[in-house]
A and B are shown apart, each in its own frame.
Chain A
C-alpha cells in the first residue's frame, strides 16, 4: 500500500469564465517513510500540488488515493478531519498565533482533534516541543522567539498529532542559513525516525536534503529521481550548540 498514489491528477482554476490549467495529468506514488522534495520555479504548480496532497484543496480531475482511500470523494468536513489526523504543516511564514504562548500554539491541533483532557494536551505538546529542543520556551510568547525558534514551534505543532506525513512549504525561506540548516536537520532526523516528509522548495540546495526530488515545470513532472549527493545537515547541530 502506497501512502500517496496519484493518477492523472489535474487542477484548473476558473476565474470569470477564464480557465487556467495549473496541473496536467500527473501520476506518481509516495511510500511511507520517504523524504520527497517537490521542486520547481514559482508558478510551476508545486504549491497547488502540495495543497491537493495535503487536503487543503481538491483536484479537478484524476485520482488521489491516500492510504488507498479515494480523497476526491471527501467533503469539506472529512477533508478537515484528514488534515487533523493525517498531516502536519510547516509554512514559510510560520503562521503561529500572535500573542499566544508557545505551548498554546502547539496544543492547537489537539483541540480540533477532540483531545478534551487538557492534561493530555499539555503532555503531548511538551513532548513535541522536546523533540524540537524548545522545552525551555514553553511559556514564551511567539513574538519573543527568533525566526528559527518560531519554525521549530511550527514543527512541534505539526508533530503533536502524530501525523502520517509532514508537509513543509519552503520552511527555510524566511530563515538565515544557520537556522535553515537547523530546520533541515530536524526534518531529516524526523525522517530517520520514520516520518514521511514532503518538502516544497525552489532551491536546489534545500531540495538536496531530501532523498527524492520531483521536479515540476508548467504543471507537469519534469523529472523524478533519487538524490545522489544528499546534503546531510550535520553541521547545523554543531552550530546550534
Chain B
C-alpha cells in the first residue's frame, strides 16, 4: 500500500472526526505557535534594545565603579554603592587621552519637584556640560548649562520633555523657579523629545549640573557611572586600554586584578545585551516546548484510543493481506499528519500573532522590527513531524501487533 493511498485514507479518517482531530492537534498548534511567537518577539525585543543602544552612538565608552569580570555585570548594577569613581577621574581621562572628545559622570536621584502648586515625582540627573555631546542630543528650547556654570555650582535646571509638560502644562518653563529638595533652581532649557532608551524614559527627568547635584541634592563626591565619547570607532579599543592605565595610576592600583572600576565599550555592551536576550529567548522557547510535549502525550492518548476503536478494522486489514509494517505505517502517517497539520496551523497563527505584536509595538512608537527567522519556521515543522513520529510509534506498534483473529472478534 503506497504512501499516497495511506495519506488519502488518513485524510478521510481525520475528516470524519473533525472535532476530535482538531482537539487532538490543538496541543501542537499551541506549542508551535508559542515557539514561533516567543522566538519572533524575542528577536523583536532584541532589535528594539539594540536599536536604542545604537541610537546613543557606538563610539561610547562606559565606566562603572567597582570591579567586574568581562562577562558578568558589575556590582554597582546590583545596587551596591561604590564610591571610587569621581568627576575628577573623568576630567583627567579627557585631559590625558586625546581619543576622548567628551565625557560626563552621572549621579541620579528621585524626588518630588514642584513649581508653584504643581508637583511631580521625577528623576533628577547630575551631568556636566558635555552631556549633549556625549549622548548626541539637543535642547528644544533655551540652552544647556556651561562648564563655568557647572564649576560655580549654579542652580540651573534643564527639563526633560515629559517633565516640562507635566510640571508646566501649557506655561513656558524658561526662567521659572522650580524646587528640588528645598532648593530652588532656575529653568534654562527644555530637552527635545527622546522617548525610551536603555530601558529608561529619557524625557521624564531633570538635568542639573553634576557638582550641584552632588553637593546640594545628594551630599556625595562620587559619580554613579560615566560615559565618554571616542572620536572614531577604530580608536575605541585603544581608548579603553589607555583609560585603564590612567585610572589605575590615579587609584594606586598595581595589579589589574584589584581594579575598582570597569570600563566597557558600547560594542561590548551590545554583545552582553545580545547574550542576555538570547538566553531569555531560549528559556522561553523551552517553556513553550513543554506545550509541545503535552500535545505529544495528547496525540499518543488519542492514537491509542483510535487503535482500540479500530481493532476490527485492523483485524480485517490483516485478514485481507496487510502486513504488520502496513499497519504501523498507516497509524504513523495518521499521527504525523495530525501533528503536521497542527504544526502548519501553529506556524500560521504564530506568524500572525508576532506580526500583530510588532505592529502594536510600532504603533506605540517603539523601534521594533517584525522578525520571523527561517530557523523558527523550520523548527516548527521539524518539531511537529518529530512529535508525531515519537508519540505515534507506540500506538502504531500496538496496532501492528494485534492478533488478526482476536481483532476480528473484538466487540
Interface residues of A (CB under 8 A from B): 51, 54, 56-57, 76-77, 80-81, 83-85, 89, 91, 95, 97-100, 108-109, 111-113, 116, 157, 161
In the bound complex, do residue A95 and residue B316 qualify as a contact, i.e. CB atoms below 8 Å apart? yes
- Kindly state whether residue B359 has any CB partner on chain A within 8 Å: no
Given that A77-B324, A112-B323 are known contacts, is A99 also in contact with B317, CB under 8 Å in the complex? no
In the bound complex, do residue A77 and residue B323 qualify as a contact, i.e. CB atoms below 8 Å apart? yes
In the bound complex, do residue A83 and residue B321 qualify as a contact, i.e. CB atoms below 8 Å apart? yes
Q: Give 20 CB contacts A-B under 8 Å.
A: A56-B405, A57-B405, A76-B323, A76-B324, A77-B324, A80-B323, A83-B320, A84-B320, A85-B321, A95-B312, A95-B316, A95-B319, A97-B313, A98-B313, A109-B321, A112-B321, A112-B322, A112-B323, A113-B321, A161-B321
In the bound complex, do residue B16 and residue A95 qualify as a contact, i.e. CB atoms below 8 Å apart? no
- Kindly state whether residue B404 has any CB partner on chain A within 8 Å: yes
- Kindly state whether residue B222 has any CB partner on chain A within 8 Å: no
Q: A56-B318, A76-B324, A95-B408 are in contact. List 17 more A-B contacts (CB 8 A).
A: A56-B405, A77-B324, A80-B323, A83-B319, A83-B321, A89-B319, A95-B312, A95-B315, A97-B316, A108-B317, A108-B320, A111-B1, A111-B5, A112-B320, A112-B321, A112-B323, A116-B2
Instruction: For the complex formed, measure the closest distance between the CB of B324 and the CB atoms of chain A, giving whole angstroms.
Output: 6
- Kindly state whether residue B326 has any CB partner on chain A within 8 Å: yes
Q: For the complex, what is the distance from the CA of A169 to the CA of B365, rounded to whole Å?
A: 77
* Least CB separation from B325: chain A residue: A77
For residue A109, which residues in chain B have a CB less than 8 angstroms away from its CB?
320-321
In the bound complex, do residue A56 and residue B326 qualify as a contact, i.e. CB atoms below 8 Å apart? no
* Least CB separation from B320: chain A residue: A109
Q: For the complex, what is the distance from the CA of A109 to the CA of B1, rounded to whole Å?
A: 10
In the bound complex, do residue A112 and residue B405 qualify as a contact, i.e. CB atoms below 8 Å apart? no
Query: How many chain B residues have a CB neighbour from A under 8 Å?
Result: 22
Q: For the complex, what is the distance from the CA of A108 to the CA of B314, rounded to whole Å?
A: 12
* Least CB separation from B15: chain A residue: A99
Most buried by B among A80, A112, A157: A80
Q: Which of B263-299 contact A (CB under 8 A)?
A: none
Most buried by B among A51, A91, A111, A116: A111
Instruction: For the complex formed, measure the closest distance between the CB of A216 and the CB atoms of chain B, giving whole angstroms.
Output: 17
Residue among B316, B321, B405 making CB contact with A80, cutoff 8 Å: B321
Q: For the complex, what is the distance from the CA of A239 to the CA of B408, rounded to whole Å?
A: 32
For residue A56, which residues in chain B have a CB less than 8 angstroms away from its CB?
318-319, 404-405
* Least CB separation from B404: chain A residue: A56
For residue B2, which residues in chain A have a CB less than 8 angstroms away from its CB?
116
Instruction: For the complex formed, measure the closest distance between the CB of B328 and the CB atoms of chain A, giving whole angstroms.
Output: 12
Q: For the complex, what is the distance from the CA of A157 to the CA of B319, rounded to whole Å?
A: 11
Contact with A along B316-357 (1 / 0, CB 8 A): 111111111110000000000000000000000000000000
For residue B16, which residues in chain A have a CB less than 8 angstroms away from its CB?
99
Q: Which of B388-411 contact A (CB under 8 A)?
A: 404-405, 408
Q: For the complex, what is the distance from the CA of A80 to the CA of B325, rounded to whole Å?
A: 11
For residue A83, which residues in chain B have a CB less than 8 angstroms away from its CB?
318-321
For residue A99, which residues in chain B have a CB less than 8 angstroms away from its CB?
12, 16
In the bound complex, do residue A51 and residue B5 qualify as a contact, i.e. CB atoms below 8 Å apart? no
Instruction: For the complex formed, measure the closest distance between the CB of A76 and the CB atoms of chain B, giving whole angstroms.
Output: 6
Residue among B312, B326, B408 making CB contact with A112, cutoff 8 Å: B326
Q: Which of B1-60 contact A (CB under 8 A)?
A: 1-2, 5, 12, 16
* Least CB separation from A97: chain B residue: B313
* Least CB separation from B316: chain A residue: A95
Q: For the complex, what is the distance from the CA of A61 to the CA of B312, rounded to whole Å?
A: 28
Q: For the complex, what is the distance from the CA of A95 to the CA of B2, rounded to whole Å?
A: 23
In the bound complex, do residue B324 and residue A81 qualify as a contact, i.e. CB atoms below 8 Å apart? no
In the bound complex, do residue B319 and residue A81 qualify as a contact, i.e. CB atoms below 8 Å apart? no
Instruction: For the complex formed, measure the closest distance between the CB of B211 and the CB atoms of chain A, giving whole angstroms.
Output: 86
For residue B5, which residues in chain A have a CB less than 8 angstroms away from its CB?
111
Instruction: For the complex formed, measure the closest distance between the CB of A55 and the CB atoms of chain B, giving whole angstroms.
Output: 9
For residue B315, which residues in chain A have a CB less than 8 angstroms away from its CB?
95
In the bound complex, do residue B320 and residue A91 qualify as a contact, i.e. CB atoms below 8 Å apart? no
Instruction: For the complex formed, measure the closest distance between the CB of B368 and the CB atoms of chain A, giving whole angstroms.
Output: 50
For residue A57, which residues in chain B have a CB less than 8 angstroms away from its CB?
405
* Least CB separation from A94: chain B residue: B316
Q: For the complex, what is the distance from the CA of A109 to the CA of B319, rounded to whole Å?
A: 9
Most buried by A among B16, B313, B316, B322: B316
For residue A80, which residues in chain B have a CB less than 8 angstroms away from its CB?
318, 321-324
In the bound complex, do residue B321 and residue A81 qualify as a contact, i.e. CB atoms below 8 Å apart? yes
Instruction: For the complex formed, measure the closest distance between the CB of B4 and the CB atoms of chain A, giving whole angstroms.
Output: 9
* Least CB separation from B324: chain A residue: A76
For residue B323, which residues in chain A have a CB less than 8 angstroms away from its CB?
76-77, 80-81, 112
For residue A77, which residues in chain B have a CB less than 8 angstroms away from its CB?
323-325
For residue B325, which residues in chain A have a CB less than 8 angstroms away from its CB?
77
Q: For the complex, what is the distance from the CA of A91 to the CA of B408, rounded to whole Å?
A: 9
Contact with A along B83-102 (1 / 0, CB 8 A): 00000000000000000000
* Least CB separation from B1: chain A residue: A111
Instruction: For the complex formed, measure the closest distance between the CB of B66 and the CB atoms of chain A, giving whole angstroms.
Output: 73
Q: For the complex, what is the distance from the CA of A68 to the CA of B53, rounded to whole Å?
A: 86
A-B pairs, 5 with minimum CB distance: A84-B321, A112-B321, A109-B320, A111-B1, A80-B323
For residue B321, which residues in chain A have a CB less than 8 angstroms away from its CB?
80-81, 83-85, 109, 112-113, 161
* Least CB separation from B318: chain A residue: A80
For residue B317, which residues in chain A have a CB less than 8 angstroms away from its CB?
108, 112
Instruction: For the complex formed, measure the closest distance between the CB of B406 and the CB atoms of chain A, giving whole angstroms.
Output: 10
* Least CB separation from B400: chain A residue: A76
Instruction: For the complex formed, measure the closest distance between the CB of B375 and the CB atoms of chain A, giving whole angstroms.
Output: 38
